[in-house]
Structure 1
Amino acid sequence: MAKPFLILQLRPESEAADDEYAAILNKGGLSDGQALRIRLDQTELPDDLQLDQFSGVIVGGGPGCVSDAPDKKTEIETRIEQSVLSLMPEITNRDFPFLGCCYGIGILGKHLNGDVSKEAYSEPVGTSDCMITADGASDPLLNGAPENFQAFVGHKEALQSLPEGCTHLVSSPTCPFQMVRHGQNVYATQFHPEADGEGFRTRIRIYKNHGYFPPETAEELIAMCEAADVHAPELILRNFVSRYS
C-alpha cells in the first residue's frame, strides 16, 4: 500500500482512544505502519497536511455532540469538531474516501447543513437491528454483509432526515439513518463498525457517568454486549480499506 490511512480520533480518554485505534487497525486489516494516527484532543492538524498523502480518512467516535449549543461544549470538544469540519469541504468537493464512525455521521450531516439533533432516534448503549436498503445492497462497502445484522450503538444525537446529496444505505427501526454515502466515496455510519463486545465493555466502564445510560446498569449492559452476535459491521471497515488501499 503506497499511502497510509489517516485515522482521526476524538476521544479525550486515553484508554478508550487506544482501544478504538487498535480495533480500527484489527478490523480494517491494517498495520500500525499503514496508518497515521492523530488524536485531535492532544494535537492540531498539521498545517501542511494534504489529503493526497493518504489513501482515505477514517474518523472515530467520541463523547461530543455536534448539535450541542456552543456554550455546552468543552474547549476540547469545540477544537475537535472544528478540526474535523475543516477537512470536510475538500473531502466532499473531491469525493475523497472518508469513513466517519458514529460521531462522523454527525460531522458529515452538519457539514452538509443537514438536520442533526437529539429530537429523535437516539439509541442507548447496546445493539441495533440494522437492515440494508435497496441502494445499500449494491454498495461495495456492504459487500458480503447479510441483509439484516446487528451493530453496536450508543448515541444521543442522530440525523433526522437524509442530507442533500446522500444515499441511504442502512436503516434500523430505532434509528433510520444508520449508514449513508455522499457522492460515491464519502461514507458515515451511526453504528460502530470497529466495535466488538470486548471493546464496548471498555467503553461502557469509561463512559458510564456520561449520560448514555443509568450508571447502575453498566454491568448488565456489559453482559448483554459480550453475548451479542455482532460481526457484520467490521466488513464495512475492511471493505473500505480494501477498496481504497
Structure 2
Amino acid sequence: MKPFLILQLRPEAEASDDEYAAFLAKGGLSADQTRRIRLESEDMPDLDLADYSGVIVGGGPGCVSDAPEKKDPLEAKIEAEILSLMPQITAQDVPFMGCCYGIGILAHHLGATVSKAQYGEPVGPSLCVQTPEGAADPILAGLPDQFHAFVGHKEAVQHLPEGAVHLLSSGPCPFQMIRYGQNVYATQFHPEADSAGFELRIRIYKNKGYFPPEEADSLIHMCRAADVHAPDRILRNFVSRYAR
C-alpha cells in the first residue's frame, strides 16, 4: 500500500505526538503505512504526491486570516509550505483531508474568505448536521444525520468556496465540512479528537487565547461528559476509500 502523507503543524511535541497517534488509531493505520512530516521542525521536502494514497493535514495554533506582519515566522513558513501543495491537490483531485486548520487552507486557496468576523466556536463539542449532499457522500457513510464533534477555532470560512460542496453544518458555524472535486475534503472540527485527546489540548493550549485559562478545568469536565465518537468514522472511511 502507498503510504498516507500526514503533515503536522503543532510545535508542542506532546500535542503533535498525540494527534499523530489519533490519526493512526482512528484511521486504522499503522505507522509504516504513513509518512509523517512535522513542518514546525523540518522543511517540506520535494514530494511527488503520486507516491501517496492521500494527504492528511492536522490542526495547529496558526490562523490563515492573520495579517502577514502579525504571523509568527514559523507559522507563516508552515502556511506557505502547505499552500504550495494545494494547486496540485485541487487540480489533480488528490485525496486530501484537512482537519480544522486544513479547511482554512483549502478555502483560502480556492479564493473564499477566511476570517474571525463570525462563525468562530469555543472549545467543546458542536452538533454537526448533514446536508443532503453530505448524506450522499461516501466519506460520511455510516454516520448519523447529526453527531457531536470537538471544535475550538478563532477563524472560520465565511462563505462556501466556488465549486465546493457543502457537507456538514452546525448552528454556530455553517461550514463544518466541505468537499472540492470528488476527493478533496476539509473539516472545521477535529475528526481525530476524542475526550482524552481534547483534554490534553486544553491543558497545552490554555494560554493561547482560545479560552480564559481559568476555564480550563470546567472545559475538561465538559469534554469528559461529551458523547463524541461518530467523527472517527470519517477518517476510517477516508483511509478505506483511498488506500491503494
Shorter-normalised TM range: over 0.9
**TM-score, structure 1 length as denominator?**
0.99
Deviation at 1:146, TM superposition (A): 0.1
* Within-5 A mapping of 1:24-39: 24-39=23-38
Deviation at 1:226, TM superposition (A): 1.1
In percent, how many aligned pairs have the same letter? 69
Matching residue within 112, 115, 118 for 2:116:
118
Tell whether 2:154 aligns with 1:153: no
Deviation at 1:37, TM superposition (A): 0.2
Partner of 1:60: 58
Q: Which amino acid aligns with 1:24?
A: F
3-state SS of 1:76 partner: helix
Partner of 2:42: 43
Q: Which amino acid aligns with 1:83?
A: E
3-state SS of 1:204 partner: helix
Name the CA distance, whole Å, in 1 between partners of 2:227 and 2:154: 23
- Deviation string for 1:46-85 (max 9, x for gaps)? 12x1001100000000000000001111111001000100
Name the CA distance, whole Å, in 1 between partners of 2:72 and 2:158: 24
What's the RMSD between the two structures over aligned residues?
Answer: 0.5
Matching residue within 66, 90, 95 for 1:92:
90
Tell whether 2:164 aligns with 1:166: yes
**TM-score, structure 2 length as denominator?**
0.99
Partner of 2:13: 14
- Matched residue pairs, number? 243
Name the CA distance, whole Å, in 1 between partners of 2:12 and 2:68: 21
Name the CA distance, whole Å, in 1 between partners of 2:8 and 2:241: 22
- Deviation string for 1:3-28 (max 9, x for gaps)? 00000001111110000000000000
Task: Point out where structure 1 has 5 or more consecutive residues left out of the alignment.
Answer: none
Task: Point out where structure 2 has 5 or more consecutive residues left out of the alignment.
Answer: none
Name the CA distance, whole Å, in 1 between partners of 2:68 and 2:112: 18
Deviation at 1:113, TM superposition (A): 0.9
Deviation at 1:45, TM superposition (A): 1.2
